[in-house]
Structure 1
Amino acid sequence: MSDTQPNGHVEWALRPELPAEAREAAHGFLAGLSPEPSEHTSQNLVLLVSELVTNAIRHAGEVTSLHLRADRRSLQIVVHDPSPAPPQDRTPDLTGRTGGFGWPMILRLAEKVTVLPRPEGGKTIRAVLTR
C-alpha cells in the first residue's frame, strides 16, 4: 500500500469499496508523513478523499483506484473511475435527499482540480493541496 521513494515522494495505492475505507487509508497516509501536514491541511485531505470516493461510487459505480501522493510541496489525491462523464455542478438539495454539495466542496478545498479522460476508458480526477 505504501511506497517511500528515494526522492522523498510517498505514495499509497488502493481500491476502496467504501468511503470509510478511503478515509481510514487517508489517516494512515497522513500519519506516515514526516513532517506531518497541518491539522487544517490534514482535515482537508480526508474530506477530499471521502468526497471523491463517494462521488465515484455514487456516480460511476466504483473506484478503479485511489492514489495518495506526497512530496515536499504538495499532497495529491488521484481517483480513477470507470465513467467517462465529467463531474457536474448541481443545485444542492437542501432536504439532503440527492446531494449536490460534494463537487463544489471539492473545488473549494483543493488548490487545483483536474479531470482527464483515461485512454482505457473512464476518467481521472486529481486534487492537489499545498503541503
Structure 2
Amino acid sequence: MDTMSLAIATVRPAASLAGAREGARAFLEGLVRPIAAEVADALVLIVSELVTNALRHGGGACTLDLTAHPDTIEVAVHDRSPHEPHTRTPDLHGGTGGFGWPMVNRLARATAVTRRPAGGKTVSALLAR
C-alpha cells in the first residue's frame, strides 16, 4: 500500500485524536517498504500534534491525509481556520502549550501551510523515509 487517506470528523476530540494515531500506525504497517522505527515514532507524534492543533484551533473538525512517496512520507491536516500556526513562547506553568509547532518543524524535513480555495488551510509536514 503506497497511499492512504484517513478522514476525521469529530464530536469528541479525544476519540478523534486516538483514531488519528491508530490510523497513522495502521498506515505505516501497511507500507510495502517499511520505515525505521524512529521515523514511525516521529510521524505518529507529528500526526498527534497537527490533529490536536486543528481540533483545538481549526473549528473542531479536520481531515488527515497520509501519503507515502518513494523517498518521503507526507502528513497533511486540513481544517476550516484561515489562521496559520505560529511559534510562540512555550507556557511552562499555565498548560496552554506552545511546544507542538516547533517540535513538528524540528522532526519534519519540511513544513508548509497552504490556504484552501474553499476556505481554511492545509498544514503539511514531510518526513524523510
> TM-score, with normalisation over the residues of structure 2?
0.90
Matched, 1:10 2:8: no
Tell me the distance in 1 between the aligned counterparts of 2:128 and 2:118: 30
Name the aligned partner's letter for residue 83 of structure 2: A
Name the aligned partner's letter for residue 73 of structure 1: D
Q: Among the aligned pairs, what percent are the same residue?
A: 48
Tell me the distance in 1 between the aligned counterparts of 2:9 and 2:111: 21
Tell me the distance in 2 between the aligned counterparts of 1:96 and 1:16: 29
Which consecutive unaligned segments of at least 5 residues does structure 1 have?
A: none
Name the aligned partner's letter for residue 33 of structure 2: P
CA shift, 1:21, in A, is 0.9
Which consecutive unaligned segments of at least 5 residues does structure 2 have?
A: 11-15
Tell me the distance in 2 between the aligned counterparts of 1:38 and 1:19: 23
Contact 2:55 2:62 in 1 (8 A): no
Runs of 4+ more than 2 Å apart: 61-64
Tell me the distance in 2 between the aligned counterparts of 1:10 and 1:117: 23
Name the aligned partner's letter for residue 74 of structure 1: T
Aligned twin of 1:123: 121
Instruction: Number of aligned residue pairs: give it.
Output: 124
Aligned twin of 1:19: 17
More deviation in 10-19 or 52-61? 10-19
Give the 5 Å matches for 1:1-131. 4=1, 9-15=2-8, 17=10, 18-95=16-93, 97-131=95-129
> TM-score, with normalisation over the residues of structure 1?
0.89
CA shift, 1:96, in A, is 5.1
> RMSD in angstroms over aligned alpha carbons?
1.3
Contact 1:16 1:22 in 2 (8 A): no
Name the aligned partner's letter for residue 40 of structure 1: E
Distance 1:101 1:78, change over 3 A: same
